[in-house]
């Protein structure tokens, strides 16, 4: 994440937005490694990565389950989600953080002006609002 930090910070994310994007990028990275292990027939690796997937999902669940009340009843399963993150900012961060992972690049492609190495400051880091809603070009001839 170090190479993407200057671009990510130019988006001025809240700590919740940044944490959600990091958690989701971690999930995408793990799914990418599972995919590669299946392609390689590395079944022990698949099992190990599935364990990591559970851990990454638990991390994101914990982020979504943070509550502001201190009643100490421990009933987090019933607590409503209190996250107030901007989905557009989270999507932009995910496009940055998930770029090193094959599944991340497929699901959340980042244009060259959002990538850390091509960033030209805060203005260059902003995406067209509809960018992530566009369909990818078909690979069919």
Confidence band for 80, pLDDT divided at 50, 70 and 90: confident
Confidence band for 84, pLDDT divided at 50, 70 and 90: confident
Distance of CA 129 to the CA centre of its chain: 18
**The predicted structure's pLDDT at residue 115:** 54
**The predicted structure's pLDDT at residue 100:** 86
pLDDT exceeds 80 at position 89: yes
Q: Name the average pLDDT for the chain.
A: 75
Exposed/middle/buried for residue 5 (C-beta within 10 Å: 0-12, 13-18, 19+):
exposed
**Selection from 126, 141, 136 nearest residue 11 by Cα:** 126
Render pLDDT for 91-136 as a digit per residue (tens, 0 to 9): 999 999 998 899 998 998 876 656 554 443 333 333 333 433 444 4
* Helices 87-97 + 15-40 axis angle, to 10: 40
**The predicted structure's pLDDT at residue 1:** 46
Q: Return the higher-pLDDT residue of 52 and 65.
A: 52
């Amino acid at each position: 994440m170090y190479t993407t930090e200057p671009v990510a910070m130019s988006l001025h994310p809240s700590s919740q937005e940044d944490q959600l994007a990091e958690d989701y990028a971690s999930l995408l990275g793990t799914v990418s490694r599972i995919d590669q292990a299946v392609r390689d027939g590395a079944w022990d690796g698949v099992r190990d990565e599935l364990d990591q997937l559970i851990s990454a999902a638990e991390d994101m669940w914990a982020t979504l389950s943070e509550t502001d009340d201190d009643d100490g009843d421990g009933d987090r399963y019933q607590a409503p989600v209190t996250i107030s993150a901007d989905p557009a900012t989270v999507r932009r961060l995910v496009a940055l953080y998930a770029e090193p992972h094959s599944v991340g690049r497929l699901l959340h492609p980042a244009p060259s002006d959002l990538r850390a190495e091509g960033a030209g400051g805060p203005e260059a880091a902003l995406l067209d609002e509809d960018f992530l809603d566009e369909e990818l070009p078909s690979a069919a001839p």
